[in-house]
Structure 1
Amino acid sequence: MREEEKKRSSLKNFFKKRWVFPAIYLASAALLISMLFWYQSAGKNTADDQNLTKNSKNLTGMSGEDSVVEVNQAFENVAMPVKNEDEANIVTQFFDTKASTEEKEAALIVDGSTYRPNMGVDIAMKDGSEFEVVASLSGKVDSARQDPLLGNVIEIEHENGIKTIYQSVKDMKVKTGEHVKQGDVLATSGTSQFNKEAKTHVHFEIRKDNTALNPIDFFGQPFTAFEKVEKPADTSGETNNEVEEGTGDSEQEQTETGKELQPEKKETEE
């Protein structure tokens, strides 16, 4: 009992000292002021970050995600739309009007009695198995649609008017408006009614301003290589035997126009 009374007595004596309450008041005030400054500073930093993000989007005209996709894309090399290029094989070449007669004939797709130029390349596995179709370049999915004739179609937009097209696919993993990175899985290889001879494959096209380019010329090349592509000359005076270079007709457009092409025959000497 005496010890408790001594403790209470000492505590009362402590609070009777003149400097105790002012010290407690000053410490409380300092703590309160510190908390106010911290709260205001945190709120200001958050507002600044939001304004910076908003201003950045307004200045560039795109969101942060768009910026990342475009920056990465500028430093990418054009890749084949497969995970393992060593296991892939090009079964149908691109129709190039400057190629030899034999090469042109090899790049024609036989549709009954009609011959149509291949505006891309048809890629299949060497063992004929199905495979995952991946994005050749980073970009934005412009269209992912079903097509019973072409075996479904995925179109991806890139910078500077470049577009990559993936046809004859199934089990599509992407939707219109989505952003994809190079190497992302887009779909699974499939077949098409348009080119049955290719069997399980992916029909891959590269276009610049809707002009078909030979993908083989760009595989492994930096994205900046597209800047060197010149606008094709007017070939409207050529015959139907020689397909207009860069007409921009996709396989779908060719089926709609029904344009018939006959393989070129070698001229015989008189």
Structure 2
Amino acid sequence: MTENKDQKNSQEKELTGLRKLAKRRWFYPALYLGAASLVMTGMLLFQVLGAEQTKNQKEENQVVFNQNKPAAPVNAAAEVFEWPAVQADTKVIQPFYDVNGIQQEQKAALVNYDQTYVQNTGINIGAKDGKAFTVTAAMSGKVTEAKKDNLLGYVVAVKHSNGVETLYQSLASISVSLGQQVAQGETIGTAGTEAFNKSIGTHVHFEIRKTGVPVSPEAYMAKGTADVKAPTSAAQSTNANQASTGTNGK
């Protein structure tokens, strides 16, 4: 009995306290503000959660969309020409013959074969120590020629975009075959010697051609096939005539 009576008295005291609070002027405004605050908080929370859910859904849809798209092929046209040798100690030991160059440079670019001077239609690259080195593809492409020539050593030609091709000759051995797709930096072969230009020792003869006409390889290093321009009419006539007689005018 006593316990029930105490509980009843406690409840009456709480009710009395609430009645006193309700009689105060600020009670109901405070109650309304508190309720409004809870409602606003709930609305903001709903908006934030809704926006986050929408964002996550969009990201999931985008991932699914991207996964369903076929993988884009490697764009070989976006590549730029790289040095066609692995070793860092390789250098140009005989330059390209530029019909518009100075006389001293033109003289250095003449190849003496069988008592005849022939214009060099590429660059001859050799190691500083004169030893053999690995020759690599300057750019991705398709092998259109891979053969052994009695005069030029092993010869490899690679076709690229925009009517451009690269040639590698004076190779002691080759690592590619006709019709093969090669990646940039892939091994083409090993530098060697050739009967045509044996006086300069072990080297690789490297050419870049635009629609069959040789252009200066050094001028297009770190550039793409779209940058390769056909030579001027005078240069084109000279180099095209040489190219038509064989690789490097041979």
TM-score (ref. length: structure 2) = 0.67
Counterpart in the other structure of 1:106: 108
Greater strand share, structure number: 2
Counterpart in the other structure of 2:153: 151
Unaligned runs of 5+ in 1: 1-48, 54-63, 237-242, 256-270
Counterpart-to-counterpart distance in 1, 2:235 and 2:173: 39
Counterpart in the other structure of 1:32: none
Counterpart in the other structure of 1:68: 73
Distance 1:253 1:96, change over 3 A: closer
Counterpart-to-counterpart distance in 2, 1:206 and 1:157: 10
Counterpart-to-counterpart distance in 1, 2:83 and 2:118: 23
Counterpart-to-counterpart distance in 1, 2:135 and 2:238: 30
Unaligned runs of 5+ in 2: 1-67
Give the paired residue count: 182
Residue 142 of structure 2 aligns to a residue whose secondary structure is strand
Counterpart in the other structure of 1:166: 168
Paired residue type of 1:224: A
Residue 244 of structure 1 aligns to a residue whose secondary structure is helix
Distance 1:118 1:77, change over 3 A: same
Paired residue type of 2:159: E
Conserved 8 A contact 1:151-1:191: yes
Paired residue type of 1:78: F
Structure whose alpha-carbon radius of gyration is higher: 2
Conserved 8 A contact 2:213-2:230: no
2:217 to 215, 220, 227: 215
CA shift for structure 1 position 244: 1.7
Counterpart-to-counterpart distance in 1, 2:149 and 2:172: 10
1:77 to 60, 80, 83: 80
Counterpart in the other structure of 1:233: 233
Counterpart-to-counterpart distance in 1, 2:183 and 2:73: 10
Distance 1:111 1:140, change over 3 A: same
Conserved 8 A contact 2:210-2:230: no
Conserved 8 A contact 2:78-2:224: yes
CA RMSD of aligned residues (A): 2.4
Distance 1:168 1:253, change over 3 A: closer
Counterpart in the other structure of 2:188: 186
